[in-house]
Amino acid sequence: MTHFIPKLAVVGLVASASFVLAQDYNAAPPMGQLNAALSDDRTLFNVTIDSRPDDDLLELGRLVAMGGAQKGGSGMACIACHGANGQGDGSGAFPRLAGQAGWYSYKQLMDYASGARPNPIMSGIAQRLTEREMEAVAAYYAAMDSPYLPVLGDVPASLLQWGGQLGAVGSAERGIPACVNCHGAAGSGLPPSVPYLAGQYATYSAYQLKLWRDGVRNNDAMNVMSSIASKMTDEDMKAVAEYYARVRPMLPVAGE
């Protein structure tokens, strides 16, 4: 609760090659563990959803994730690509969904359905989901707290340093704001509307930046991401994506 048109065919090929890696049918967390996260900011939809997430919503979310949507089937099972525990796939073809802000994931599904975020796979799936099913599966994955897969590949330390600098302070000379301004300290996100970056796969994150820059993805509020991405080079995108792929979200301090 992460996540293509002709230009995206390359990622589609990667996705096909890593399909087996992403299929994790036995790692779904128990409902008791998910219930404990129902009051977490990640699962709360605030004023945008009429009712507070509850057990019934999580059960429906689990059903949708397993391919049981009203107009779905096994071909629409989220777990086939994103895994039952929302880890996604380390190649970056399938983004990590575990712990992603529920309202953010719900909005992405709405945007897939409307065409604001075109994707040959996700658009067709989202168009067959009811709004309630979108809410449910978004809350289901938001309630998860899954382990992170190992980061694949080595990158130069200088690139990671540049990515960290862009994340922390941006580039005043080129008008690139710091990622932390919106995505929070250590890229942990600002639920319910701003996604986390920490631990998201670098290939996926860099690709999304290119989609914003190229005008393919056009579903960010007030065109903020499109504006930022238009000022970034491919190296900038790779740097910040590789940096955040290696960062882990800040954990809350006990008692706070």
Domains of the chain as residue ranges with CATH: 6-142 (1.10.760.10), 157-245 (1.10.760.10)
What would the two tokens of residue 48 be? 């945008």
Q: Which pLDDT belongs to residue 112?
A: 97
pTM of the predicted protein model: 0.80
- For the chain, the average pLDDT equals 83
Examine the pLDDT at 101 and tell me if it is beyond 50.
yes
pLDDT one-digit tens code per residue, 223-232: 899 999 999 9
Burial degree of 174 (CB within 10 A; 0-12, 13-18, 19+): exposed
- Say what the pLDDT of residue 251 is: 56
- pLDDT reported for residue 137: 95
CA-wise closest residue to 104 among 165, 188, 34, 186: 188
Amino acid found at 134: M
Q: What is the pLDDT of residue 110?
A: 95
Q: What is the number of alpha carbons within 13 Å of residue 115 lying toward its C-beta?
A: 0
pLDDT digits (tens, 9 = 90+) for 30-56: 666 666 555 565 555 654 555 667 888
What is the band of 90 on the pLDDT scale with cuts at 50, 70, 90?
A: confident
For 123-156, the pLDDT digits (tens) are: 999 999 999 999 999 999 999 989 998 887 899 9
If one compares 26 and 220, the residue with the highest pLDDT of the two is 220
